[in-house]
Structure 1
């Protein structure tokens, strides 16, 4: 992803009416106010269900379970309306969208100017396409080390583990982060994703931004060490069978496989942060946009990876819904608006129990403005 230094913090938006009740350039200043990482769920606003009855979309596999929840909420809000979502991968989703095969795309990366994707999407839409970050899935560092049930890691140490520079669990760098732990001399065995993976891309972006990783990002693991397994389930299984193993998987797979999850020490060197809906929400709220204004909400992910916000968990995968700002068919635009409105409101209710992070109200307000502008 092409990172720019200019951005705007997501902090509290001056739109209190949008908050739901219930339950760098050198100029990176955000709005002032109290805590901005609160989340809320409710019955949600009423939506106009008079648009196209069935939408077609495709893309990211990482957001598939979240999309199932969103579609259910949409079905409940708009009886007889539906979204057919095919989880065929982010690249395929973008290709389907720019090829006019779908009404919107799901992608683990925003449209890439280096690949000409914004221009292709604009040509397909007949209007600019917008990247809307709707789904956030924490990536966890999971490990299998006998006698160790609590572990702290920072990005720099993690980078050295995954490129093979740090070879044993009693290495001085790991000991420094875990002064009270009894760490064995067991050899470290890296388990990585062998398939083309958005999780791998986001993991390597984190290591690059915050850990001095020099191997590059991308959907192929570039560390050059360890053994590969295809998909989150296979990685989790392989880790469970490997004493001394370490891997990266999406949070839901760490939960379902009852894997040990490392806490992360952020770039400010503060208290190690455990993954939770609250800690992820704090990281999202501290993020900055690549473009300070407008409704294209592509994120500067380095602002998340290098967050210094207290209690913020920095290792995230953001999935965008890529939409036309103005649809040639008004009924399609109306349905996309209704679906996304439902997704960021009623659709948030069960995300945390499925390994995703509910949207903080600050970002929800920004998304609401963009979604309301779709026509």
Structure 2
């Protein structure tokens, strides 16, 4: 169960430790930030804390840095503890916002009313990224694979790289007989939820297991903590393969081209953006909650449907008016063209589509002070 009391207690402890930490420098971005601070007319000041998605980590660093240039007296703190930990921290009232690669589930929405007021919490799309299927096979940069083959690899049903199911999609590639080591996330992860959702919807016979933020037990392989952890494991293990936010995958690893329709589509921010444009709003949500249902079986030309839409989750209301102003100003910066460009430069993410960005701005603006 995603919202266990024990996880909630750990989230509170982690958030408390985060709140006690301070920046080592008044101007961590250096001379540019110092000059901006001296010339800034912003009167906004205070501290807000968040926790959550490791996939958002590089983008969050860019957002915090850019925001502090504009508002040098504001300190935004973020601890990349994983999406599940971030949601738990928000629902415990330990942080002001969460980063999550999965939107709040119905039980979490109900629980949010205890902390965030009668309208609960808001899922705001902030970060769009393709999920890479990355592998360590020296001399091989890309492989073509369909969803069913990927599913069988991660279930341990295909255990060697020269298996006919892989070779048949990659004529001319000299595949070794190296044993496959599938690496999954050890923590409750929105990346895992998006990856298993893709497999379940695109190849239901090969992946009958329901999507979940926790990796299914009994499948073997290895696991590691966070996006960086799984990629580190793959990098030092020849024959290994993992799923991860593309921002932490470098050129030392190969990546999979996904079969979409009759074509194999390479991983890219542009392909992720095309896939998001095929999405629809999750029904039954409040006016300002923008949880998205992603079409994992799209055949739109150029679409890369193995993606995550990572959310900034805010309360719909806060007791303190100053907190409302800080949260809204930071949230609007993240969604702005400047903020989206900062994350694209730092993390290879795709910009939020214009219509979706407009809805997100309206949702952030709706955040109010609780009576």
What interval of TM-score do these two structures reach, taking the shorter chain for normalisation?
Answer: 0.7 to 0.9
Residue in structure 1 matched with residue 197 of structure 2 by the alignment: 205
Aligned residues: 323
Instruction: Give runs of aligned pairs for residues 169-248 of structure 1, distance below 5 A.
Output: 169-212=161-204, 213-222=207-216, 224-248=219-243
Residue 371 (str. 1) matches residue 371 (str. 2): no
Residue in structure 2 matched with residue 287 of structure 1 by the alignment: 279
| Distance (Å, rounded) in 1 between the aligned partners of 2:113 and 2:187 | 30
Residue in structure 2 matched with residue 91 of structure 1 by the alignment: 84
Q: Which one is further off, 164-173 or 207-216?
A: 164-173
| Distance (Å, rounded) in 1 between the aligned partners of 2:48 and 2:319 | 14
Residue in structure 2 matched with residue 260 of structure 1 by the alignment: 254
Where does structure 2 lack aligned partners over 5 or more consecutive residues?
2-40
Query: Which of 287, 294, 299 in structure 1 is aligned with 2:292?
Result: 299
Q: Once the two structures are superposed, what CA deviation does each residue of 1:69-128 show, in whole Å capped at 9, x if it has no partner? A: 112222222342232223333233223322322222222221111xx2112212212231
Residue in structure 1 matched with residue 311 of structure 2 by the alignment: 320
The Cα shift of 1:180 comes to 4.0
Higher relative contact order (CA 8 A, sep 6+): 1
The Cα shift of 1:163 comes to 0.9
Scaled by the length of structure 1, what TM-score is found?
Answer: 0.77
CA contact (8 A) 1:51 1:332 kept: no
Q: Which runs of 4+ in 1 moved over 6 A?
A: none
Instruction: Give runs of aligned pairs for residues 348-359 of structure 1, distance below 5 A.
Output: 348-355=340-347, 356-359=349-352
| Distance (Å, rounded) in 2 between the aligned partners of 1:182 and 1:218 | 35
The 1:95/1:146 distance shift into structure 2, 3 A limit, reads closer
The Cα shift of 1:134 comes to 0.7
The Cα shift of 1:158 comes to 0.6
CA contact (8 A) 1:52 1:334 kept: no
CA contact (8 A) 2:153 2:159 kept: yes
The 1:147/1:101 distance shift into structure 2, 3 A limit, reads closer
**What root-mean-square deviation, in Å, do the aligned CA atoms of Structure 1 and Structure 2 show?**
2.7
The structure that is helix-richer by fraction is 2
Residue in structure 2 matched with residue 342 of structure 1 by the alignment: 333
Instruction: Determine helix, strand or coil for the equivalent of 1:157.
Output: helix
